Structure 1
């Protein structure tokens, strides 16, 4: 099995894990505690139309700001605090929902908050379907690298590597003893992400000073940053199928 790391566009026709830490993948993962489905859309106009049809909650942002007239922005904290009995969330974002549009692979949603669960589930799906390739896809920002997505991808890749190593009887408990073998190969880009993600306290300090964090702080979303950087607080695994995001059960 080959495991790779990409920016914006997946290189896999098998299985892809989309990572947009600030904030789409975090919002989507936590929102399915409250909603039965999330419909990602690619324009505010499309979101409004679908929300009317589905009697859904309208959520979205552009440039980090809540879109005027929407019920809520792309905030995992605000979405968690919504008081609603509606079953559908219609979501449009600058990055995360946009890159779902042209994917041809099985697509899962990954973040810090569900890294372990999405890693383990990806391997189960790969085995069940005889997939030979898993690709972690960083959303980035306007086509550019975003370090928070790189580090969250490293967290997911760490758990993928750990599970594969256990299966191949490798010692994974006494420090980082990564090695490729005939059964799996993690790209060098992916290996770099794993290594970079291992010091959690340093990771949080670095991300606190990124462009994305500064932008969110200026908009008053500092709590979203803190929420999004929590590791493995939820077991939700989200799959994108037939234009809808739902919990994989």
Structure 2
């Protein structure tokens, strides 16, 4: 039997729920949206790190690479970094073969915490269909909604629900956990007026107040990029 579970925030994440399983990390606003966009625009890889010190250290130790530092703390850019945590800051042709080193409040922390998974993918609305297409035969699948500051974020669970909807269209054999049933119901209840309830969410409105309207519009584009992004040897790459 194929099983499909949803973890609703990084604070729910534990080794027992992910070890040996295939996981998909979701951070719609905005880390995984940035990663997907960067790899679609030609970046060679994305390195998720936990701190700005770790990011600076990577660049110092890899002078042979074109390293771009990207990230945020509390939704604001980090001093000394090349860019914030924004997909609209990325320009096609400007990051060809670059290594994007990222640290964010939520998404990169979730990726690093899920390191006992057998396979790890990152996804957002931008590449949901392409990601679902490679997961249909997965035996044990866990979708991890990163959340915000350790709490539930409606946009991440909505994206998990969209992925489940896509998977069910391809394969009716997944046994859904209660959390997966709830995520699917959330998406189905909002798909007619997508992104629906997300616009009332805490993180959405934090970004809106900071003037990040272009990011908000971009991050909810469904299936803009036909790319699959998977972790290989500590780096997120396009496969």
Query: Same fold per TM (> 0.5)?
Result: yes
Match of 2:105 in 1: 94
Gaps of 5+ in 2: none
Gaps of 5+ in 1: 127-131, 166-182
1:83 and 2:133 are equivalent in the alignment: no
C-alpha distance in 2 between matches for 1:219 and 1:245: 28
Give 1:87 deviation, angstroms: 1.7
1:69 and 2:70 are equivalent in the alignment: no
1:228 and 2:227 are equivalent in the alignment: no
Paired residues of 1:27 and 1:76 also in contact (CA < 8 A): yes
1:202 and 2:193 are equivalent in the alignment: yes
C-alpha distance in 2 between matches for 1:121 and 1:148: 22
Match of 2:154 in 1: 147
How many residues in Structure 1 have an aligned counterpart in Structure 2?
Answer: 225
C-alpha distance in 1 between matches for 2:140 and 2:96: 39
C-alpha distance in 2 between matches for 1:99 and 1:112: 18
C-alpha distance in 1 between matches for 2:22 and 2:196: 32
C-alpha distance in 2 between matches for 1:86 and 1:47: 18
**Aligned alpha-carbon RMSD (Å):** 1.7
Match of 1:169 in 2: none
Paired residues of 2:49 and 2:103 also in contact (CA < 8 A): yes
C-alpha distance in 2 between matches for 1:82 and 1:234: 16
Match of 2:130 in 1: 117
Any idea what the Cα deviations from partners look like across 1:42-63, whole Å, max 9, x if unmatched? 1001101112323301111000
C-alpha distance in 2 between matches for 1:82 and 1:221: 23
Give 1:82 deviation, angstroms: 7.6
Paired residues of 1:110 and 1:156 also in contact (CA < 8 A): no
1:47 and 2:62 are equivalent in the alignment: no
TM-score (normalised: structure 1): 0.85
Paired residues of 1:30 and 1:80 also in contact (CA < 8 A): no
